A and B are shown apart, each in its own frame.
Chain A
Amino acid sequence: MPAKKKEQSEDNIPAESINENTVNETAAESPAAEEESKAETAVHSFEELLSAEKDRYMRLAAEYDNYRKRSQKEREALYADVRADTIVQFLPVFDDIERALKAGSPDETFKKGLEMTMNSFMEILAGFGVSVIPAVGHPFDPSLHNAMMHTEDESVGENIIVEEFHKGFLMGDKVIRYSMVKVAN
């Protein structure tokens, strides 16, 4: 700073006097200029306020729009989702009937009755668009099956499902319950 000052005074005395003049001029204009700059500042701050409010408004509008679109999608999916959730709650009953069938019975009539019960259940499921996910003998696919156990078995290929603990189901093309399986290799 001192260096600069020196330069100034060393330089043009005319410059100084010019400066003085300018200073005087500015001094003369002062009140009017002040008014103007006050107004300018006010306008500027209003402009800032306006653009901030505009931004908030746009953000809110966008959020609302996205919310609306999403709510619409959720609403459309709701009916199917609720049906799927309800059916899943009944599947353990299906599992137990399956186990009962597997256990078998010496009483042929009883066995037949159980088979008919199972068929009836399957028909109802089919009516809902529910289908069984193919498992045993098929390649393991984590988007359809849930691997509970792993084993080594030379008689089957790589990544093949060898056992099923409970069946998996699709409703349309959506998995409502993953097959619980044992995978080989």
Chain B
Amino acid sequence: MAKIIGIDLGTTNSCVAVMEGGEPVVIPNAEGNRTTPSVVAFSKSGERMVGHVAKRQAVTNPDRTVISIKREMGSNYKVDIDGKKYSPPEISAMVLQKLKSDAEAYLGETVTQAVITVPAYFSDSQRQATKDAGKIAGLDVLRIINEPTAAALAYGLDKETDQKIMVYDLGGGTFDVSVLEIGDGVIEVLATNGDTRLGGDDFDNCVIKYLVDEFKRDNGIDLSADKVAMQRLREAAEKAKVELSGVTASSINLPYITADATGPKHLEITLTRAKFNELTRHLVDKTLGPVKQALSDAGLSVNQLSKVLLVGGSTRIPAVQDAVKALTGQEPFKGINPDECVAIGAAIQAGVLGGDVQGILLLDVTPLSLGIETLGGVCTRLIERNTTIPTKKSQVFSTAADNQTSVEVNVLQGEREMAAYNKSIGRFHLDGIAPARRGVPQIEVTFDIDANGIVNVSAKDLGTGREQHITVTASSNLSKEEIEKAIREAEQHAAEDAKRKEEVDTRNSADQMVYQSEQTISELGDKLSASDKSSLEGAVSKVKDALKGNDTAAIKSATEALTKEFYAVSEKIYAQGGNAGAENAAGATGAGPAPGGQDFYDADYEVVDDDNNK
């Protein structure tokens, strides 16, 4: 069944989002941008353009380019393009059509239904016009919701206790403030106010004016007459404004901004946040009147507000946030991208209408990693913590000693590298393993966690088909504090754990190398020259000696030396190998596939001790 999209059809920019896997996701347009300019244009040949491409040619084609059509929705205004008349819904439909097809491209399926947002103050005819626009675009508009309401949905406020909130929306070209009452899952608009001609561009203009004035003072040149210079200034001003939301000073450098008789001139001005605030204070102050008025119309005092939500890119400006905080006494909510939160709220509403949201949410995860104990007391993880459940993972293990006929599976939960420091949540044996050389039997261990967190661990001897398993309830063992403690301790001990694991791994490798070498010596000794045989034996005994002690470095170097010897000897054997026969082949298999031997074991097998307690 098709997805329902949520659309923020804005005056200057539009945004579309959809629920995916229970989470709202903003859909990028075909060019890769997360918002699309609400601009429509017709080329001289009648070709239609929507979005960024329309914006880029607006200056060359003003008579055929339409911007801010939202301001005319619900009226009888008609746009005349080359003699053909278009109503505002028809123009808006073109924007919606682009959003629709971009959404279809992203989702890989057709989209026929949508939820579209409108300002809270929109009249019935304005809302109907928006619905009509959707219909023209091929979208069945299931619901029209208010922009501040969508913001409240985005923050999940409809699920909380009854409260009164304010939504402060300072966007591209308009300022809107709304007071909402939330109760019993219903969101009601108590009052709205605003300024239809106040937005981010006005903040840019203040900075531009400052730069022009400073430059005039320093150089005696008025840049406002130079269109090219002004374009650079505009870009630099916007960039500085954005930077100042993060840092307290921004340096604006525009080399070769202009030239006069004395030569080229450069603009180099540092703008501090304090200065920026000073330059734009009057704009911020302009928003406070409507805020007070909205509260008064709603019959509320400032203390009756539980929350204030910030919507619109310009609310990123620290001075704006500070002013809101000062006026309302609240730390405003700004966690969700202010350019996108209305579309996100629309998507959430769309999800509810489509029955999506209730479906896949709240999948559980395993709080801590699960694994088994392997040779050397190491914990080998099969399932990482925070893996979403239900899940199933298998890995093949083997025996640690020759003729080992049973393996003990010690099920561990925790983040430490060494088994002893993790919690054992279950233990069982699988016996009846056919006697064989160590590393030969294949024991498949499977962890199967169901949706309720019940863990089924099974061990199956792939040779005999024998199987044993236990059932454990892993997650109920630990409280939240215990989980956090386990993770913290693992981080604190990470270094020493890693070291210990390395020690164990080194010992295991050394052991394995000794075993392989001794196999080769005993089975193929006659193929070796006396000197080769004794040098190999010498290397083996060096490793054995090192293994008696605890010097990891010594074990490692002795093992490396042995490995070198072993490879050299193996090569010689293979060189002779052509003459041999079945006997040799059998011998070679017994010794394990030569050069890759070590890696083969490490990659595919971890050896499971018969009795790990020893």
Interface residues of A, Cβ cutoff 8 Å to B:
55-56, 59-60, 62-63, 66-67, 69-70, 81, 96, 99-100, 102-103, 140, 142-143, 145-150, 159, 165, 178, 180, 183
Q: What residues of chain A lie closer than 8 Å to B256, measured between beta carbons?
A: 96, 99-100, 102-103
Complex formed: what's the CA distance from A36 to B76 in Å?
Answer: 65
Q: What residues of chain B lie closer than 8 Å to A159, measured between beta carbons?
A: 44, 60
Closest to B229 in A: A165
Q: Is the CB of A149 within 8 A of B227?
A: yes
Q: Can you show 15 pairs from A to B with CB atoms below 8 A apart? A: A55-B1, A62-B109, A66-B107, A69-B108, A70-B106, A103-B259, A103-B263, A143-B53, A147-B59, A148-B227, A148-B231, A149-B59, A165-B232, A180-B231, A183-B60
Tell which of A63, A99, A145, A150 touches B56, judged by Cβ atoms closer than 8 Å.
Answer: A145
With contacts A63-B20, A63-B21 taken as known, whether A142 is within 8 angstroms of B56 at the C-beta atoms is: yes
Q: What residues of chain A lie closer than 8 Å to B58, measured between beta carbons?
A: 147
Within 8 A of A (CB), among B541-575: none
Q: Is the CB of A66 within 8 A of B109?
A: yes
Residue B57 CB within 8 A of the other chain: yes
Residue B359 CB within 8 A of the other chain: yes
- Pairs of residues from A and B, 10 with the lowest C-beta to C-beta distance, nearest first: A99-B256, A142-B57, A103-B264, A66-B108, A146-B56, A142-B56, A183-B60, A147-B59, A147-B60, A142-B53
Closest to A146 in B: B56
With contacts A66-B108, A96-B256, A102-B256 taken as known, whether A178 is within 8 angstroms of B56 at the C-beta atoms is: yes
Q: Is the CB of B255 within 8 A of A99?
A: yes
Complex formed: what's the CA distance from A55 to B259 in Å?
Answer: 70
Q: Is the CB of A142 within 8 A of B108?
A: no
Q: What residues of chain B lie closer than 8 Å to A70, measured between beta carbons?
A: 106, 108
Q: What residues of chain A lie closer than 8 Å to B57, measured between beta carbons?
A: 140, 142, 147
Within 8 A of A (CB), among B39-88: 44, 49, 53-54, 56-60, 62
Tell which of B21, B59, B227, B255 touches A96, judged by Cβ atoms closer than 8 Å.
Answer: B255
Tell which of B54, B60, B107, B255 touches A140, judged by Cβ atoms closer than 8 Å.
Answer: B60
Q: Is the CB of B231 within 8 A of A165?
A: yes
A145-B56, A165-B231 are known; give 10 further A-B pairs, CB within 8 A: A66-B109, A67-B21, A70-B108, A96-B256, A103-B256, A103-B264, A140-B57, A142-B56, A146-B56, A148-B227
Question: 1/0 per position for B213-248, CB-CB distance to A under 8 A?
Answer: 000000000000001100110000000000000000
Complex formed: what's the CA distance from A69 to B21 in Å?
Answer: 15
Q: What residues of chain A lie closer than 8 Å to B54, measured between beta carbons?
A: 142
Question: 1/0 per position for B254-267, CB-CB distance to A under 8 A?
Answer: 01100100011000
Complex formed: what's the CA distance from A62 to B57 in Å?
Answer: 40
Complex formed: what's the CA distance from A70 to B108 in Å?
Answer: 9
Q: What residues of chain B lie closer than 8 Å to A100, measured between beta carbons?
A: 255-256
Closest to B109 in A: A66
Closest to B25 in A: A67
Complex formed: what's the CA distance from A99 to B1 in Å?
Answer: 57
Residue B360 CB within 8 A of the other chain: yes
